[in-house]
Chains A and B, each alone.
Chain A
Amino acid sequence: MSDQDRPGGGPDGDGDRLRELERGLRAARKADEGNKPAADRSGVAVAFRLSTELVAGAIVGALVGYGLDYLLGTSPWLFILCFVFGVAGGFLNVARAGIRSEKRNDGNGR
């Protein structure tokens, strides 16, 4: 194959090819806009985040309540109260994470 046969072999052809490349790049960049890293949206990552949140809430609430009861001698009232607050806190974290990932999926992420 000689140089003349190749598309865009001459100096003018090179310019054409460069322009074509430029156009291609611009199109690719446009398509990529607002495209956050893929793993960011990965449902698995979100699922892994949420699974522990509830358990941890219950554990923290129970431990804090038990500790305060032990110190203040108010057993079992603070235990019950803190346990409920702890579970609620866990749920709050789950809700927050859900809202956050939803926002990001809408494309107007923070």
Chain B
Amino acid sequence: MSNDPIHQFQIKPIVPLEIGGLDVSLTNSGLYMLGAAAALTVFLTMSMGGRALVPGRVQSVTELIYGFIADMVRSTAGSDGMKFFPLVFTLFVFILFANMVGMFPYAFTFTSHIVITAVMALLVIGIVVFYGFYKHGLHFLGLFVPKGVPWVMLPLLVPIEIFSFLVRPVSLSLRLFANVLAGHITLKVFAGFVATLAAVEAWWGVPAAGLPLLMTVALTALEFLVAFLQAFVFAILTCVYLNDAIHPGH
């Protein structure tokens, strides 16, 4: 049914494939992931291909993104954090392209599936934990012990700190997934209202359909904002969490 707002998130296998009893078919989700990765690779390499001293329009877009992320990493995680710049940059550009490609009508938005966002969030937290222990050893656990607190309070505060750490991957993945999912459903529902109202056999049918149409236009603009903001929020939180791994003292 074309009016079903959830229908757009359905995963369909395109190239069925099974290895060792595991279903590893190439789905529409996987296809769009490959597409987004290919598109951004082509865009980034092509735009920097000229390496002009005075950048042209396309090159300056890439340079702006680079400067934006580099600034963000440096101001959030310090200059030590710059070794994680490739990770943050890749995450940001990948999510940004995914969300933007998803804004095309009939396109599939793979960030609307919590599996995808959860894997990205677990990757970030995994790196934080691994790097934290690798760099600081058991001192990394000091992250869970707030400084300058009387020891009587510690049995209460340490569990809270541990849970605040456990919440991170969940909130990181939930935020991106929920915003994209809710946004696309809202768009679809309002667009559905247009068709339903326009089909009403009364003089007010078509004029009334203009109202949800206006709303759809406004929501599309909002979704573009959300598409950028969610990529930005994911990237900056990655920096914030990496900062904890690099400087667990505070």
Q: Pick from A3-11, A14-22, A81-89 the stretch touching chain B.
A: A81-89
CB distance from A13 to the nearest CB of B (A): 24
Q: List, in ascending order, chain A residues with CB within 8 A of B160's CB.
A: 85, 88-89, 92
SS class, residues of chain B in contact with chain A:
helix
Q: Is the CB of B167 within 8 A of A48?
A: no
Closest to B77 in A: A110
How many residues of chain B have a CB within 8 Å of chain A?
32
* B40 CB within 8 Å of chain A: no
* B37 CB within 8 Å of chain A: no
Count A/B pairs, Cβ under 8 Å: 90
Q: Is the CB of B75 within 8 A of A49?
A: no
- Contact partner, A52, options B72, B166, B171, B243, Cβ 8 Å: B171
B-facing residues in A21-47 (Cβ within 8 Å): 36-37, 39-40, 42, 44-45
Q: Pick from B19-27, B49-57, B230-238 the stretch touching chain A.
A: B230-238
* A80 CB within 8 Å of chain B: no
How many residues of chain A have a CB within 8 Å of chain B?
32
SS class, residues of chain A in contact with chain B:
helix
Q: With contacts A64-B166, A86-B166, A92-B161 known, what are 5 further pairs, Cβ within 8 A?
A: A40-B236, A48-B233, A60-B166, A85-B160, A110-B243
Q: List 16 A-B contacts (CB under 8 A).
A: A36-B75, A40-B72, A48-B179, A48-B226, A48-B233, A51-B175, A56-B171, A57-B163, A57-B171, A59-B170, A59-B174, A61-B163, A85-B159, A85-B163, A88-B163, A89-B164
